[in-house]
Structure 1
């Protein structure tokens, strides 16, 4: 009996050691499973971060490629312009040079004749080449050649030739000839379809170039154009639309996400908020644009010749119609570069600005182009002032409409999405209610997650089986005891792991709740700041209206070169 007892004790010690080893191994495996689970969570988080980084990289790469492509295209377009129309520049450089050389008599007439005849051979289709030949012949008192060259220039471009010689005759104080050429030019004009060079005429009026008689004639023509246009059905609506588009072209395309970091990440309404905030920023852009035009004196040209020479340079340097397709393509490339590869933003700006390059525009559109896009329409600051003053009431109407549309687009409710929770706020005033809702939502998610972490059927079966085996070991010997003990140990290990998992999940949701509530608080604060920011930017609209109310066309017509001062045109009614 003692021998059997020793054997049984020895066997039980071995079994206990084996069970301890098994328990240790199970614990090790359990820890490894936990580590694997944490690694899976970390891997998912890292993959999400990498996915966002990849999407950002793709977007940045696409923009960089758009910029590179635009730069390459711009170079090719400019090369094509130089190849096809490079000789135009040479002809243009001679336009005022001939007059200035004649003023001081330092170039022989034979040299002038040779130069203009050479230009005639270099520019077989360009209107300015025969016009310069006619000018040289006129200076040489060669009437037959002047008439032949003039006829050819008129055939190539009657309007530009007429305006060109109207300026030249004004330069030489030949008032009767100036009136004749201007009358010819005006007779060809349709106020609904003016050439872009007509801005030179407006420049001449605003700069006080023409004498009093000619200026009165121009004033009557312009008043007649406005009256004629005003009789058309829908004229006022058309003016509102034109100036609405002109003002809209000043809306910036800034991404305000850096300033409103939480709203840009957690609000589906952010796109509309960013758009309307940029719309409100337009007020300051327009105010500064108008202020830059109206502030400071415009230094007058020292004499009539210099003033007309400036206008002649502008007239001959304006793009000819055959150059326009390439100039349009060049402009689009330049806008893509300025917008850092954002093609849609560049295309939007191009659509708004392209009217300044249209071959034919109405007189009122000419004023809009001169006022809003002087870099494209080649309008001087004096012309910008005159155009804005003449169109003041139309600008005010369009500004009112655009401002109202921007205000109407302001989101009344700001949607917030944090994790899978959604809420709305107007001014962040319901932050406590939102926080309670968010907290309840996260608590519910926590409870649902905890409810899923529980012992399975196999664990309870192991418990029952273990208890049964241990009771059967009384008569069944060592093996049922060992198996029963193993089942019980496995059950209690599983229960311990479930408790740890629940504690870990509860801790994770506690951190999530804290972080989510912080995000909610920051987002509500940004909503308040955004509303304040929009109101501040939108308030600048009053300054724009005040600035427009203070001007009239009579104030912005220079009378530099003669003593008479005339009212050029009545303001828009």
Structure 2
């Protein structure tokens, strides 16, 4: 070995010794840091325990608050939805009420002189018979309308009577012709009744013949009801032959209607069914648990409302039968009553305003349900204009306002067709009975159950299975569980990064401490929150089962109410059968 090689060897040995010493120093430093880290971890462990003891009660409270607020938010959302519905209902009712006031004011403003003429007409007839009417009392008002070229037939008809009473034959003839030109059907009946009132029976018969000569059997007018009212009241009774002749004609028309009208009975049954179906009635019963859980709640309420119509209409027909009809003590009063009905009948433009009032009144009766109100309105006023006697009978049987159709005529129509009316009501009952199910579908916190009111145990088991199946899905859906899980994952990622950095010869005690802290905190709080959520789910399951039980109890209550109301159909039949026959 040369001197040079020896020196290089010694230098390398010295370098290696220095490197070893440096590594030893580094190892000692790392040992100190590791010992310090272990000490910090021990401190960290104690801190985590303290943090848990301090944080867990607060987090439980926060979790409970969140759950409570979640339920409250759901309740508030439902309340807002109901409030929105109530707002639109209130708006519809408010608008309808405003319209009723507006159109009523329009009616009494625009047609006030119609009513004045009607009072004068009836008063004049009564007063003329008593010989205490003078031209100055009433004639001036009628002359004013007459001279203004009114389009109201009654002004000219009444003027004709006044002129006839004062023996102004030529002027009376002009007024009569004008009345006959404007409304020949009502004017003919008016003059017939006026002549009957003053025992001018032959002239009255001529006016009856005049009226019948203008009749088109396929296009009868509403004034037919006043002719029928007169017959039913015995207004032709002073001339028994005249009374019998009119009676035979009516009976003949009924027989002809049954024989010539296609599907006459079927038509009446269908109209009866439509009348009951569109009758405005809403049950006052409320089922809170069914409303919140049963998918068919609206159908249940509608079906119960339909069944309740049996008792409502039974009372209606009882009241109609027992309503006092001022028939009059003698034939002259009965003629005056028929005359009163005729002259109080709504004129064309007048009826259009009345229709607007009726529609808005129906909206109010339907609690803001404009669709139901419109159906009811169409049921009353939406029929074809060209009517046969069968069509008129059908209309009269279902009119609810004696201002539109006299009470005696309504009773007569019901008496004629009561059997077919009841068949229509039976058809309606069959319709709503078919909608009743043995089992209904419930949605309890996302769990769908089809059950009868007697299947509580099966439903309870299904709810328990549903919660068990979706346990972890519900737990992992919790916000705090997600947050704690992300904290643990963040700690793990930090430790992985630290491992990579350590392999590169770099090390950070602070990062290591933070990573371990995040993992410990995240895993621990994830576990605690999962346990808390599991307890909450158990309580939620208990409440769901309780809510389902209450819903089934209400379903049983609903079914008992429905069956009781459905049985009232026999009372409705009895109420209808009280109405007599045509001969009676």
* Preserved CA contact (<8 Å) 2:321 2:579: no
Please list the CA deviations of residues 50-80 of structure 1 after superposition, one character each: whole Å capped at 9, or x if unmatched: 3323222222222222223223333333344
Asked if 1:331 corresponds to 2:358, the answer is yes
Asked if 1:149 corresponds to 2:175, the answer is yes
Task: Indicate how the Cα distance of structure 1 residues 130 and 485 shifts in structure 2: closer, same or farther if over 3 A, else same.
Answer: closer
- Which among 282, 294, 298 is matched to residue 267 of structure 1? 294
Asked if 1:213 corresponds to 2:241, the answer is yes
Task: Indicate how the Cα distance of structure 1 residues 27 and 122 shifts in structure 2: closer, same or farther if over 3 A, else same.
Answer: farther
User: Quick one: distance in 2 between partners of 1:280 and 1:124?
Assistant: 50
User: Quick one: distance in 2 between partners of 1:209 and 1:216?
Assistant: 11
**Which residue pairs with 1:434 in the alignment?**
459
User: Quick one: distance in 1 between partners of 2:209 and 2:147?
Assistant: 31
User: Quick one: distance in 2 between partners of 1:11 and 1:457?
Assistant: 25
Give the greater-gyration-radius structure (CA): 2
Task: Indicate how the Cα distance of structure 1 residues 250 and 463 shifts in structure 2: closer, same or farther if over 3 A, else same.
Answer: closer
**Which residue pairs with 2:522 in the alignment?**
494
**Which residue pairs with 1:560 in the alignment?**
none
Task: Indicate how the Cα distance of structure 1 residues 183 and 548 shifts in structure 2: closer, same or farther if over 3 A, else same.
Answer: same
* Preserved CA contact (<8 Å) 1:209 1:304: yes
Matches within 5 A, 1:311-460: 311-355=338-382, 361-375=387-401, 378-425=404-451, 427-450=452-475, 459=488
User: Quick one: distance in 2 between partners of 1:547 and 1:345?
Assistant: 26
* Preserved CA contact (<8 Å) 1:162 1:185: yes
Task: Indicate how the Cα distance of structure 1 residues 457 and 103 shifts in structure 2: closer, same or farther if over 3 A, else same.
Answer: closer
User: Quick one: distance in 2 between partners of 1:179 and 1:197?
Assistant: 17
Task: Indicate how the Cα distance of structure 1 residues 151 and 264 shifts in structure 2: closer, same or farther if over 3 A, else same.
Answer: same
Please list the CA deviations of residues 99-128 of structure 1 after superposition, one character each: whole Å capped at 9, or x if unmatched: 122122222246554443223124521111
**Which residue pairs with 2:8 in the alignment?**
none
- Which among 531, 536, 539 is matched to residue 511 of structure 1? 539
Give 1:440 shift: 0.8
User: Quick one: distance in 1 between partners of 2:330 and 2:322?
Assistant: 23
**Which residue pairs with 1:520 in the alignment?**
548
Task: Indicate how the Cα distance of structure 1 residues 191 and 401 shifts in structure 2: closer, same or farther if over 3 A, else same.
Answer: farther
User: Quick one: distance in 2 between partners of 1:209 and 1:266?
Assistant: 63
Q: Pick which of 370-379 and 447-456 moved more.
A: 447-456
User: Quick one: distance in 2 between partners of 1:205 and 1:77?
Assistant: 35
* Preserved CA contact (<8 Å) 2:494 2:515: yes
User: Quick one: distance in 2 between partners of 1:496 and 1:22?
Assistant: 9
Name the TM-score, length of structure 2 as normaliser. 0.82
Asked if 1:137 corresponds to 2:137, the answer is no
**Which residue pairs with 1:254 in the alignment?**
283
**Which residue pairs with 1:168 in the alignment?**
194
**Which residue pairs with 1:571 in the alignment?**
none
User: Quick one: distance in 1 between partners of 2:33 and 2:461?
Assistant: 67
Name the TM-score, length of structure 1 as normaliser. 0.83
* Preserved CA contact (<8 Å) 1:88 1:123: no
User: Quick one: distance in 2 between partners of 1:79 and 1:385?
Assistant: 32
Q: What SS class does the counterpart of residue 374 from structure 1 fall into?
A: coil
**Which residue pairs with 1:241 in the alignment?**
270
In angstroms, what is the RMSD of aligned CA positions? Answer: 3.7
Give 1:133 shift: 1.2
Q: Structure 2: give runs of 5+ residues left out of the alignment.
A: 1-28
* Preserved CA contact (<8 Å) 1:339 1:346: yes
User: Quick one: distance in 2 between partners of 1:363 and 1:304?
Assistant: 26
**Which residue pairs with 2:18 in the alignment?**
none
* Preserved CA contact (<8 Å) 1:159 1:185: yes
- Which among 51, 62, 81 is matched to residue 88 of structure 2? 62
* Preserved CA contact (<8 Å) 2:234 2:331: no
Q: Structure 1: give runs of 5+ residues left out of the alignment.
A: 555-566, 569-573
User: Quick one: distance in 2 between partners of 1:150 and 1:466?
Assistant: 112
Give 1:523 shift: 1.5
* Preserved CA contact (<8 Å) 2:491 2:517: no
Matches within 5 A, 1:49-128: 49-109=75-135, 111-122=137-148, 124-128=150-154
Q: What SS class does the counterpart of residue 210 from structure 1 fall into?
A: coil
Please list the CA deviations of residues 390-419 of structure 1 after superposition, one character each: whole Å capped at 9, or x if unmatched: 112221221222222222232343111111
Please list the CA deviations of residues 262-309 of structure 1 after superposition, one character each: whole Å capped at 9, or x if unmatched: 222211111221111111111111111111122366454122232222
* Preserved CA contact (<8 Å) 1:284 1:537: yes
**Which residue pairs with 2:10 in the alignment?**
none
* Preserved CA contact (<8 Å) 1:246 1:352: yes
User: Quick one: distance in 2 between partners of 1:458 and 1:84?
Assistant: 80
Give 1:156 shift: 1.0
**Which residue pairs with 1:185 in the alignment?**
211
Aligned length: 543
Task: Indicate how the Cα distance of structure 1 residues 486 and 203 shifts in structure 2: closer, same or farther if over 3 A, else same.
Answer: same
Please list the CA deviations of residues 416-453 of structure 1 after superposition, one character each: whole Å capped at 9, or x if unmatched: 1111111112x422221121111111121224445786
Task: Indicate how the Cα distance of structure 1 residues 251 and 72 shifts in structure 2: closer, same or farther if over 3 A, else same.
Answer: closer
Q: What SS class does the counterpart of residue 132 from structure 2 fall into?
A: coil
